[in-house]
Structure 1
Amino acid sequence: GTCVNVGCVPSKIMIRAAHIAQLRRSSPFDAGIPPTSPTILRDKLLAQQQARVDELRHAKYESILEGQPAIATLHGTARFQDARTLAVTLHDGSSRQVSFDRCLIATGASPSIPPIAGLKGTPYWTSTEALEADTIPPRLAVIGSSVVALELAQAYSRLGSQVTLVARNTLLSRDDPAIGEALTAALREEGLTVLTHAQVSAAAYADGCFALSTNQGEIRAERLLVATGRAPNTAALDLHAAGVQCDAHGAIVVDEHLRTNVPHIYAAGDCTDQPQFVYVAAAGGTRAAVNMTGGEATLDLSAMPAVVFTDPQVATVGLTEAQAQRQGIQTDSRTLSLDNVPRALANFDTRGFIKLVAEAGSGRLLGVQAVAAEAGELIQTAALAIRNRMTVQQLADQLFPYLTMVEGLKLAAQTFTKDVTQLSCCAG
């Protein structure tokens, strides 16, 4: 369980605490609410964080297993002997064979470490150690440019570290380029050093300090976080013994029914070639269970929302312009800056934008990309609109509650036919 133990839950607790620290230090209302420099007691924050993790793990996982007499739980390491048998090495050292009619593989993923000279053997952090650390280092170097790297880099900066972020390309380079540009500007404005197109060639550790050699000079920091992606936990499973196929990255290849190439063996979650999100894993596991017991459930990822919990947040769903055009779809797009969204104006925080990608001619909504405070709270509305094949005009005609961020979707949709700068605040 990456999410509850070392992923979504502890990271979002830490990010929220860092957000509170930042608001005490600086906000758009400093003239009327004078800021103060917060004291960060990391050990107490960590205890609060871990208590909630322990609570959720027991309530949502351990106690459920314990309360199901039809489920036998073995604690150990499993590998395939053949397509119908597992060999399990239990934690007490004993072994056991398990035969099965159906099998679901859900072994998750682990941090992927790049082959940087000198890195092996140093006390670098992965996201796991970063979330469990009981002190805030004076300086933190972060290698990575995607979700985990960005979320934790900003959180540590807000909790008191001087952070240098080293990105091999641009930030979130797989998304619309405007997203990376907006986030880079926001992080730099907060005081993070963001190095893009930076290559780390070597790492060294001595006297409690890391030294990173890069094409943009040397970086020194007391701690180093390596957050360069996650690799499927499949290498030790002996999948070849069962005939299960993986892709070049070791991810198990599954179809929309979550079946592998071996009809009675299924897989779900981060060990597969599907997107690494907990809600995709959960949905995949549910559908696999249905299909393993005779059903024909499918997992449709065509309108899969995603959120990066930086500040401002990044939220996306559907196709970018580039993705649509690679599929041969002609697009018509509009980008709405947040100084046109009343909620953002009322918050005195107009960083970011909302972009709608539509099919040229029909106006059918294909994708939405947003950089905004609480962007994650508006993206599901966009996902539902895409799922229901709504046009931007139909979206513009919907009633949206005034002074909400989600109203920005309506305003962005209105820009296809109107000049929203000439509308009253809550014009329908």
Structure 2
Amino acid sequence: MVMGDVTTGTDVLVIGGGPGGYVAAIRAAQRDLDVTLVEKDAYGGTCLNHGCIPSKALINAADVAHEAAHAEGMGIHADPAVDAAALTDWKDDVVDQLTGGVEKLCKANGVTLIEGTAAFSGEHTARIAHGGDGQGMESVEFEHAIVATGSRPIEIPNFPFAEEAVWSSRDALAADTVPDRLVVVGAGYIGMELSTTFAKLGADVTVVEMLDDVLPIYEDDVKRVVRSRAEELGIDFSFGEGASDRRETDDGDGDGDGIEIVTETEDGEESVYGADRVLVAVGREPVTDTLELDAAGLEPDENGVLKTDAQGRTDLDHVFAVGDVAGDPMLAHAASHEGIVAAETIAGEPAALDAQAIPSAVFTDPEIGTVGLTEAEAAEDGFDPVVGEMPLRASGRALTMDETDGFVRIVADEPSGYVLGGQVVAPEASELIAEIGLAIEMGATLEDVATTVHTHPTLSEAVMEAAENALGQAIHTLNR
């Protein structure tokens, strides 16, 4: 039996329960708005269930195994064995704790939760298809809507994710075995994070990239450290090649023992790489094609992105978009901030986005953390930049960790001293970058950072020393 089509009403309809959607829903509810959140899969979205959290769990576990196996210089000798199935169970337990927590937080704040797939049926209405046979449809009338449907991995021709041997990032994170041979297509942040992880877990990894280097959006000296460490781990790079085809290989027993990846250069030159699995990590695309946007009078751009203003409004004043569907930066913490801004705007409060102070991180070895402007960007924007840097080889804490590859760099406006940006390549760079982000947000100067007493011995001292270096008065590194 099919249930009837029920119509309900709400002040704010949030479509998508990822880090943009559930945060927006909770903040809107905290502002005494009636909020309905629709999620088709699992609360927490891709980030919590199939991206940020499981990847960091695996990265941490791989680091533990690798460090234990390579600590001879400290007098520690170990030969750890990785139980991939048990590792997957532990990772899944971490995810389950967090997804359950998100659902409880939403309910505790009075958010109405609906499981299903939402699509617009008018400017102020949406229909929700519930999963499962006989579950029927539901209509929701809303005053405001927040679209937070996230993104999905991009497929490339001849490499469908439906094939067992072809992995998306989601498939890689769900795997309960480590392939002997892994080819990674794409050397962006996802490709580099996962290639490093699987190399540390014992796979022979080859990375194929059409461009001429890894991590294309980062400065050369930033990515050089990460690429060099990856090569030390045994990762092979093939630049200037794009994956064009794959074919199964067989030793004659009919079991399909592996695959071959065919690549091409721009000149048409082919190469072939043997593998057990191929991970396609060439980027992500917004999920807007399921929303029936035309029914609401909205149209995404050619990339599927819904353009928004500083408050997250789309072309319709009452419909907002946050997170990956609103385009770059496609970052979970950016989505959460955008969700808060959208919710507070709907509640009638003054709120706006400040993209300059949104940090980004790559969880490679070592990590990369960046925020604000680079030296070149600061000059292009009309500033007179001054740069300070602290190499990790001069950091006592880095030496005690046996992690001396990398640096902390801070960029400021020389006449005023205001901090404009920073780039960190170091262990825990994702943590260290927060201090520079706070300095930008507060309008702090180099002197403010330099005169803030930092605990010794810590990696965070390098931020202080970089500020001192920019002022020409560093103690523990040579001044520029």
Q: Give yes or no for TM over 0.5.
A: yes
Counterpart of 1:85 (choices 121, 125, 130) is 125
CA displacement 1:358-413 (0-9 Å, x = unmatched): 22433322111111111122111111112222232332222111111111011112
CA displacement 1:111-145 (0-9 Å, x = unmatched): 11233x46576431111111111101001111122
Cα gap change, 1:412 to 1:71, in 2 (>3 Å): closer
Q: Note if contact 2:183-2:208 (Cα within 8 Å) is conserved in structure 1.
A: yes
Counterpart Cα distance in 2 of 1:227 and 1:31: 35
CA displacement 1:173-230 (0-9 Å, x = unmatched): 1122211111110110121112333322323334232212223732111011111111
Q: Note if contact 1:377-1:406 (Cα within 8 Å) is conserved in structure 2.
A: no
Equivalent residue for 1:150?
192
Q: Note if contact 1:118-1:204 (Cα within 8 Å) is conserved in structure 2.
A: no
CA displacement 1:267-315 (0-9 Å, x = unmatched): 2112112412212112222222222232232222211111111121101
Equivalent residue for 1:375?
429
Q: Does 1:280 align with 2:334?
A: yes
**1:415 counterpart SS class:** helix
Equivalent residue for 1:13?
57
Equivalent residue for 1:226?
280
Counterpart of 1:75 (choices 107, 111, 115) is 115
What is the identity, as a one-letter code, of the residue corresponding to 1:104?
A: I
Counterpart Cα distance in 2 of 1:292 and 1:139: 51
Alignment of 1:46-195 (within 5 A): 46-61=88-103, 63-67=104-108, 71-91=111-131, 92-93=133-134, 94-115=136-157, 117=158, 122-123=163-164, 124-169=166-211, 170-195=213-238
Counterpart of 2:439 (choices 382, 385, 395) is 385
State the aligned residue count: 418
Counterpart Cα distance in 2 of 1:260 and 1:32: 56
Counterpart Cα distance in 1 of 2:112 and 2:388: 54
Query: Which deviates more, 180-189 or 390-399?
Result: 390-399
What is the identity, as a one-letter code, of the residue corresponding to 1:72?
A: T
Specify every segment of 5 or more residues in structure 1 that has no aligned partner in the other structure, as ranges: none
Q: Note if contact 2:388-2:471 (Cα within 8 Å) is conserved in structure 1.
A: no
What is the identity, as a one-letter code, of the residue corresponding to 1:2?
A: T
Cα gap change, 1:375 to 1:71, in 2 (>3 Å): closer
Specify every segment of 5 or more residues in structure 2 that has no aligned partner in the other structure, as ranges: 1-44, 250-255
Alignment of 1:321-400 (within 5 A): 321-400=375-454
Superposed CA RMSD in Å reads 2.1
Counterpart Cα distance in 2 of 1:368 and 1:157: 29
Q: Note if contact 1:122-1:205 (Cα within 8 Å) is conserved in structure 2.
A: no
Q: Note if contact 2:119-2:126 (Cα within 8 Å) is conserved in structure 1.
A: yes
Counterpart Cα distance in 2 of 1:20 and 1:235: 41
Counterpart Cα distance in 1 of 2:300 and 2:438: 32
**1:399 counterpart SS class:** coil
Query: Which deviates more, 136-145 or 79-88?
Result: 79-88
Equivalent residue for 2:78?
36
What is the identity, as a one-letter code, of the residue corresponding to 2:305?
A: A
Q: Note if contact 1:3-1:278 (Cα within 8 Å) is conserved in structure 2.
A: yes
What is the identity, as a one-letter code, of the residue corresponding to 1:203?
A: R
Q: Note if contact 1:122-1:204 (Cα within 8 Å) is conserved in structure 2.
A: no
What is the identity, as a one-letter code, of the residue corresponding to 2:423?
A: Q
Q: Does 1:290 align with 2:344?
A: yes
Cα gap change, 1:131 to 1:236, in 2 (>3 Å): same
Alpha-carbon offset, residue 20 of structure 1: 0.5
Counterpart Cα distance in 2 of 1:291 and 1:366: 27
What is the identity, as a one-letter code, of the residue corresponding to 1:195?
A: S
Counterpart Cα distance in 2 of 1:424 and 1:265: 53
Q: Note if contact 1:119-1:204 (Cα within 8 Å) is conserved in structure 2.
A: no
TM-score, structure 1 as length reference: 0.91
**2:465 counterpart SS class:** helix
